[in-house]
Amino acid sequence: MVDVDPHGAEQQVKQPLLRMRGIVKEFPGARALDGVDLEVRPGEVHCLLGQNGAGKSTLIKILAGAHQPTAGEVLLDEKQVTIPDPVAALRLGIATIYQELDVVDGLTVAENIYLGHELARGGVTRRSEAARNTRAILKRLGHSEISPHREVGSLPAAGKQIVSLARALSRDARVVVMDEPSAVLDSEEVENLHRIVRELTADGVAVVYISHRLEEIRQLGDRITVIKDGRTVATSLAVADTPTDDLIKLMTGRAVEYAFPERPGVAEDAAPVLEVEGLALGDVFKDVSLTVRAGEIVGLAGLVGSGRSEILETIYGARRATSGTVRLGGKRLRGGVDAAVAAGMGLCPEERKSQGLLLDEPVYRNITLSSFARFAHGSWLDEKAERAAAQEQVEALELRPASVDRNARTLSGGNQQKALLARWLVHGCRVLLLDEPTRGVDVGARSEIYSLIRRLADDGAAVIVVSSEIPEVLGLADRVLVISDGRAVHDSPADDIDEHAVLDMVMEGSVP
Amino acid sequence: MRGRSALSGPALRMGGLVLALVLLCVVGIVTTGGRFASVGNITTLLALAATTGVVSIGMTFVITAGGIDLSVGSVLGLATVWASTLSTQYLAEDYGWWVIVLTALAVGLAAGLVNGALVAYGKVPAFMATLAMLAAARGLAELIAGRQTQLVEVDPFLDTFRADVLGLPMIVWIFVVVAVAGWFLLNRTTFGRRTVAVGGNPEAARLAGIKIKRHTLYLYGLAGLTAGIGAVMALARTTAGSSTNGTLLELDVIAAVVVGGTLLAGGRGTITGTVLGVLIFSTLTNVFILNNIDSSVQAITKGVIIVGAVLLQQWFAAREKATST
């Protein structure tokens, strides 16, 4: 899989295809970019690395024509260009594939690919020609099984990404910018994506690749540019010669190890807080039983679609179990989410923005969303008390910026996650369910969130963590349940199992 | 209360609405002189605004929560008819004028709760559920009234609600009280907080433990209740119950709420804005009538104002997003 034939050596002589120099971008009241340099050669995978809020998104939006730089220049083939809008970017051969895939669900694959530059004669679209070309592009991407006439809405996330890529190719893109493309994919699909990226670069296309997964960058990247606080701190490092520690140091400005907090071990006589027995939800998962004791962190490892998120949501009452029981402190839970919350359960959902936060409300109201009624006198809100409680958590969790009045939308991923954890800290939880607590969270904030979760457990909470990252589950949890194809196929202390074994079990069930 | 950018946004929006209202008044004074600025005219203007205003307060809650209630006009009509049937009026003669009031409020509340139950528990889209109520309530009103206008002859009722208090008609005071109560309910109570949460992100609200179905039921109940209050006011003003009362009222109400700055998508609502929106439309109508301008021109102007207000809203929203990135 790791094809050790770095294009590096032969590329030394090549002229840069794309060059950005001294890019500055100011928003009213904020300087998002403060002198960024980027140099991309044809045929390379150039990784853009940086923490959340470092300015990566702003930079690629400038490349895509969505933002205009305040200062600095963009050169293509050593000629200065301006990119006033997205159409201009595409015309120059720069295509961007965003994290939120921008395909139209109701249109077919071919219609999506030719969206904005329809093949038409006299206003009548030339469907067969579009279909023919689409087929050719999809074949080039190794996905000839996708029909050009298929409605895009019926494709999985990986398929939509292929469509997005195909659209870029239909424009004869010479620079393809990919913003965390692997975040929505499972490991098999990631392999395929990597293969496609390698084929693109073999054809001389330059790929600017953004990812939080350092491992992935090691496998795929040729050179790396690191951005921190809107500035380039290192440019064009060769991937092969740069140790991971150095990269983390560059990104965070300090040496951070992927450190997990120490596991104090759960007392033998610790009382079981959460007892789940024979829980099932239709065809999604069956016969899940687990017990979480006070102070214990239980990790659920499994692929997307294995049923792990649904298990959490069913325990929480957000989905109605078809059979089985959930007990909290020995008392059986009935009813929906409100009953679970009243009994002392809290969930930090997988999709922070769409399931967790009121993005246009201030941070303190997000933190007290589960407890404002408790602060209230009768029906009368006590915003002063709410703000004080929120402020206390903001300081304890080192949420940045430390203001409770900013809208949740303005926070970075890691800080949004902290706000959600703060919600349950204020509410006071006996059982905390965490679904992908570090997705989209940068390396620095990750360790903080890990120790925060451990601290919650040390204070007596029973915690369940769902994660696609197996090292995270193994490093954080006391006990690990492996979920495969809707069943718990393994249950043991985290120390008794290693990453390889978990991976094996996870994969086995996923084979149809 | 909020951060800098969030504070300047609403303040600016309110400023714009006040400016629009002042401009309209200036136009009124310039084109008609004393006729607009007279005590009599202003009193009439406010009395006309009051009914729409009360119903708009209820609608503000529904729209803030991301819903819509198209039935308020019909429900108001039905409530005026039901509260002015001969049997209700007999009862009112025997027991007191409050029988009429209670009947109107009960009819409004009941219709609202039916809407709420359909939306919250039946999972019928709000647009369809309240559209069905719009048709059904109007039909029921016609059945009960037999397409006749029912005069209200209970004098204590008329005396109470047609009286002037401190120089203003009773129904204007009702609007003032409902608006102030609505402001506190939205901004200072758990009910208001739930409303904003449900409108801003229903899934997040649900997962935080808020009973969103029950709250939705209450919200439509509230909108129905304000339609019931509006019915009492309409009965007092016109002294008659009729199945045609409140025809197309829902359009004026929704327009006033949206022009006032409440987001049609939910998550942000403003009672002050709604009151200003109601006053702007009433003043506009008044100025046009005083100038003998055709009602068709008036309708066109209304349309332009609605579109302009929504365009402005989007401009503000885009600006705020840009500042917060």
Task: Please list every residue in chain B whose beta carbon sits closer than 8 Å to the beta carbon of residue A380.
Answer: 188-190
pLDDT at B325 over 80: no
Q: Is the CB of A405 inside 8 Å of chain B's CB atoms?
A: yes
Q: Is A355 on the interface with B (CB under 8 A)?
A: yes
DSSP β-bridge partners for residue A73: A21
Mean pLDDT of chain B: 91
Please give the structure tokens belonging to residue B309: 């207000």
Cβ atoms within 10 Å of A459's Cβ, excluding its own: 12
Would you call A340 and B203 a contact, using CB atoms and an 8 Å cutoff?
Answer: no
For chain B, domain boundaries:
4-324
Yes or no: is domain B4-324 CATH 1.10.3470? Answer: yes
pLDDT of the residue at A4 = 44
Q: Which residues of chain A have pLDDT under 50?
A: 1-12, 255-257, 509-512
Domain A1-93+173-251 has CATH 1.10.30.50: no
Asked if residue A171 lies in contact with residue A93, where contact means CB atoms within 8 angstroms, the answer is yes
Instruction: For residues A485 and A199, give the distance between their C-alpha atoms in angstroms, rounded to a whole number.
Output: 32
B2 touching A (Cβ < 8 Å): yes
pLDDT band, residue B129 (cuts 50/70/90): very high
- What is the per-residue pLDDT for B9? 67
Q: Cβ separation of A354 and B323 shorter than 8 Å?
A: no
- Give the Cβ contact number of residue A380 at 10 Å: 11
> Where does CATH 3.40.50.300 sit in chain A?
1-93+173-251, 272-344+430-442+463-512
Domain A272-344+430-442+463-512 carries which CATH code?
3.40.50.300
Winning range, highest mean pLDDT, from A129-143, A258-272, B29-43, B62-76: B62-76
Report the pLDDT value the prediction gives residue A507, as an integer from 0 to 100.
Answer: 65
pLDDT at B2: 40
Residues 6+ apart with CB under 8 A from A332: A325, A326
Where b means 16+ CB within 10 Å and e means fewer, A345-367 reads bbbbbbebeebbbbbbbbbbbbb
- What is the spatial distance between Cα A365 and Cα A393, in angstroms, rounded to a whole number? 13
Sheet holding A223-228, edge to edge: A94-97, A175-179, A206-210, A45-49, A223-228, A231-238
pLDDT in tens, B220-258: 999 999 999 999 999 999 999 999 999 999 999 999 999
Residues of A in contact with B193 (CB under 8 A): 365, 372, 381
**Residue B66 distance to chain A (closest CA, Å):** 13
Candidates A388, A383, A318; CA nearest to A348 is A318
Asked if pLDDT for residue B1 goes beyond 60, the answer is no
CB contact under 8 A, A360 and B200: yes
C-beta atoms of B208 and A407 within 8 A: no
Encode pLDDT of B14-25 as tens digits.
888 899 999 999
Residue B208 to residue A373, Cβ atoms within 8 A? no
- At residue B6 the predicted structure's pLDDT band, cuts being 50, 70 and 90, is very low
Contact, B320 vs B9, CB < 8 A? yes
Round to whole Å and give the CA distance between A406 and B323.
12
